[in-house]
Every structure is written in structure tokens, then in C-alpha cells.
């Protein structure tokens, strides 16, 4: 199993969790266990793409040579369509996705650099001529991955097993964000979620969010946070909960 880094006490620090609606409960419990105060501020909502055709497509994909899962949510929604039993080579974009696959009994390879570029460096994806490859995720995003899989000769099948849609935010969210202290940490693992939040928060709440410290799960997210107006950014080792909370505890 993966490493379990020691997480220093958060000492009452407010930690803003921007994960999709309905997926942040376990991370919120971790924040409380470390002495912090979680604030759930979903940047996305996820909707299953479930239909007889999609279930049949998922079963067909499990017969392909290579399966590429683009996110932990892709694993969850794919598993709801069909048991993930396959003789394919299974790849995960990051350690969180690989962890989700292990939860379904599926061993998966994941790159140490947890993004599309890192995945494309894996030996299993270097030469795909004549191979059937299924890319499993949601519509939009992962454009580089899609482009390169095709360029390397893959017979590419894309399965959009769920949809990402903007979150529903209300006055309670706005009030909580406007009350954030400057010491708050904002966990960021999706540029799309960050974009949604800053588009939907009132101006004062958006300014308050930017005044907090962004905890970015990758260099790409750090760049997105900087472009969005965050002046203080901490880089986590990955999008795994342990790494995000270790980074959140830094001064």
C-alpha cells in the first residue's frame, strides 16, 4: 500500500475543501481529526451517465487491451456500470485513482508525476500500434492524453461515465467564505472547480477566497491558482488527502 505521511496538527486552521459535492465527507473527517475546521465548498457536481447503452459500452471496454482511468470519480461511476473485471493493462492518472481501483480489487499502474504527462511516460503507453485503448472519465479535459493516445497508434475508445456540472452554491456558502481568515487553506485539485467557484461567488467572497492560502495538488494547479489571483500558494506532493493535509499544516 502507499505511504502514510505524518500529518502535523492543524491547530484550528480552516481548511476549504473544493472536491465535488457529495465526495468530501471522508476528507472533512480527516481535517477534524487533525484539529482543523473543514469548510465544504464544492467546485463541481458529478452526475452519472447511466443507460443500457453505456453499460454495454463499459462491458465492451473491459475487453480492450489497455484501460486508462482519468480520476477516482471515473472508477466509481465505471464500477456502477459493470464489475471491473478485466485482463487489460490498467492505468491510473494519479495515486488517488489507483487507490480507488485497488478498492475494487483492480491493480493499476500510476505515474509518480500525477498528471497526463506523467501517465504518457509509462512504458505501457509508449507504443500503442494496433492496441485497443479505453479512456474512461468525463467529457472535456485530458485533451493532451486523448491526442497522444491517438498519435501513438491506439484504437481509442472514450467512455464518458459521468458528467461534471457547476455546483449549486447558496447564501450559506457565500457567508462562510466571506468569514474566512487569511490563515485558511483552500485545497485545489481541479482547475475547472476553481474556475466554477470564482465565477459563482459574489465579488467580496471571491476576494476573501483569494486572500487565503491555496494548497495546490500539482504545478499545473499552482499556475491556475496564481492566474486566478492567489498570492500565497503551497504545493502539495499529490492530490491524496494525506499530502494535501501535510501541505495545509505548513506555516
**Dihedral in degrees, nearest 10, Cα atoms 151, 107, 137, 31:** -130
Average pLDDT over residues 88-112: 92
Quick check: 3 pLDDT over 60?
no
CB atoms within 10 A of CB 178: 15
Determine the pLDDT at residue 114: 67
Q: What is the pLDDT of residues 4-21, one digit of tens each?
A: 567 788 989 999 999 999
Determine the pLDDT at residue 1: 42
pTM of the model: 0.82
Determine the pLDDT at residue 139: 85
Write down all domains in the chain, each with its CATH number in brackets: 14-44+168-248 (3.40.50.10090), 47-164 (3.40.50.10090)
Assign 142 a pLDDT band (cuts: 50, 70, 90).
low
**CA gap 158, 141 in Å, rounded:** 12
Amino acid at each position: 500500500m502507499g505511504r502514510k505521511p505524518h500529518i502535523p496538527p492543524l491547530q484550528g486552521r480552516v481548511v476549504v475543501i473544493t472536491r465535488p459535492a457529495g465526495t468530501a465527507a471522508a476528507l472533512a473527517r480527516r481535517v477534524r481529526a487533525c484539529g482543523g475546521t473543514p469548510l465544504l465548498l464544492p467546485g463541481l457536481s458529478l452526475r452519472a451517465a447511466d443507460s443500457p447503452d453505456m453499460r454495454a459500452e463499459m462491458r465492451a471496454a473491459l475487453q480492450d487491451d489497455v484501460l486508462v482511468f482519468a480520476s477516482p470519480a471515473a472508477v466509481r461511476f465505471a464500477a456502477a456500470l459493470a464489475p471491473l473485471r478485466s485482463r487489460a493493462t490498467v492505468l491510473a492518472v494519479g495515486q488517488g485513482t489507483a487507490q480507488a481501483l485497488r478498492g475494487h480489487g483492480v491493480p493499476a499502474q500510476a505515474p509518480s508525476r500525477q498528471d497526463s504527462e506523467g501517465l504518457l511516460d509509462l512504458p505501457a503507453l509508449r507504443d500503442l500500434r494496433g492496441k485497443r485503448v479505453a479512456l474512461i472519465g468525463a467529457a472535456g479535459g485530458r485533451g493532451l492524453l486523448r491526442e497522444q493516445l491517438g498519435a501513438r497508434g491506439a484504437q481509442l475508445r472514450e467512455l464518458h461515465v459521468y458528467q461534471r456540472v457547476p455546483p449549486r452554491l447558496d447564501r450559506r456558502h457565500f457567508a462562510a467564505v466571506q468569514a474566512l481568515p487569511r490563515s485558511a487553506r483552500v485545497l485545489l485539485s481541479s482547475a475547472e472547480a476553481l474556475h466554477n467557484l470564482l465565477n459563482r461567488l459574489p465579488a467580496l467572497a471571491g476576494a476573501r477566497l483569494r486572500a487565503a492560502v491555496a494548497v495546490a495538488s500539482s504545478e499545473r494547479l499552482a499556475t491556475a491558482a496564481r492566474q486566478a489571483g492567489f498570492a500565497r500558494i503551497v504545493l502539495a506532493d499529490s492530490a491524496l488527502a494525506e499530502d494535501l493535509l501535510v501541505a495545509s499544516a505548513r506555516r
